Structure 1
Amino acid sequence: MTETNSLGLAGKNGLVTAAGDGIGRASALAFAAAGARVLISDIAPEGLEETARLIRETGGTFETLIGDASLESVAEETVARVVELWGSLDFAHNNAGIGTANSPFADQDRAAWERVFSVNVFGTMTFMKHELRQMEKQGSGAIVNTASMAGKNGSPGLSAYVASKWAVNGMTQTAALEYAAKGIRVNSICPGATLTTALRNWKASSPDAYDAVAASIPMRRMGEPEEQAAAVVWLCSAQASYITGTLLNVEGGDGILGKP
């Protein structure tokens, strides 16, 4: 049995949000490579089309949907579209999220908090709501949310983002308990520093600062989006069939040091 086949994802159907770049793109490509059919969504059409091109080149089966993941109407539409296309929703990777500018807690603006929570918390919540409804009808399914190591530790200057990712982890474990007996597994990944576009740009503009941060990680490097995606796909696979409610660190050892 090949590694891909052993995942048990061939012929399965699912979705990935914020699939236009970074972890979401890597996740979509990994699901397609495992033989799954995947609906990819993003608010930015250009990035989504590039992900679609990459999946198309490998012969994967996919559909695209452009939409704002903070809107419940988009969550409902996305889940319904997967079922309409392929008959079931077997997995979901709720990856959409945004950050905030670094500033002290007392200088934080409520509007900025509301924007972060609208995507990271309420967007994740509404996607989970509609995914869980569909998976409960089927009696099976696996959900993975993208949280963060900041959802386990504090991080100075990033209070809104930190609070939102703690909320994602809390929702993950609560839903895991509520739906464990119904054949549905819910987990989250907690990435550490990962070489998404933003960090690659920072590396190019501030190589010394980048190298200092990378050197502080026990594995002495940043993670790759593909490494985060591998964890997502594994958690959705048959190989993780007895795992639910896990907040999986994917961070090169930073969590051992208590770093966000």
Structure 2
Amino acid sequence: MVAELFLRVAGCLGGWFSLYISFCFLNKHRGYEWNCRLVTFTHGVLSVVLSAYIGFIDGPWPFTHPGSANTPLQVHVLCVTLGYFLFDLAWCVHFRTEGALMLAHHTLSILGIIMALVLGESGTEVNAVLFGSELTNPLLQARWFLRETGRYHSFAGDVVDFLFVAIFTGVRIGVGARLLFCELVSPKPRWFVKVGGVAMYGVSWCFMGSIWRFAWRKSGKKYRAWRSRRSEERLMKTNGHVRDD
């Protein structure tokens, strides 16, 4: 069983690496990070679609059945995702593009998926965490691509940032708290699975602090720019003449 899982994960790792090489070949004028983020965007969309189908249609429901036995589809999605995280962690370490928090997130994700695959259980809640954590990933990559192409300071950039902050706060922090509570009070998941859930949620809060600081700074800049435009409009209404008090 373990040997079979190893081969499946190795095949998925090779698939993601091959996709990265293909992007590098097709986008020779772009840098390595551009092509890696294309892989990340692809994985984000794929994992969200598959994990949503598992959670909302195929089942079981993670809020009521944490710790249940893994389904074949859950195993398949976890193998695909594990292969991606191994690829991305190796890329980040090699090019030194990420800080300690992102590396910790990748490491915890890898350990959590391996644990679920080896145990043959808890794939339900791991899949739910995958859905919540990857839901904002395409938006994060879209923000980077907008910045690289000089289109970030536009209405599209504002929409992407708003959706990212709103979804991260509502899903990873709000819904994530509910999922963690169900995990902790359920007698089925093993204790180290629960510890892993607490660790992942703690990492989400670390990200949340950085995200809200960014949102506060951007909101302040937008407000000051709006005040400046209002002041200019009031001055224009005077037709260049100083108004008498």
Q: How does the TM-score come out when normalised to structure 2?
A: 0.29
* Structure showing greater Rg: 2
Q: How does the TM-score come out when normalised to structure 1?
A: 0.28
Larger relative contact order, structure 1 or 2 (CA cutoff 8 Å, min sep 6): 2
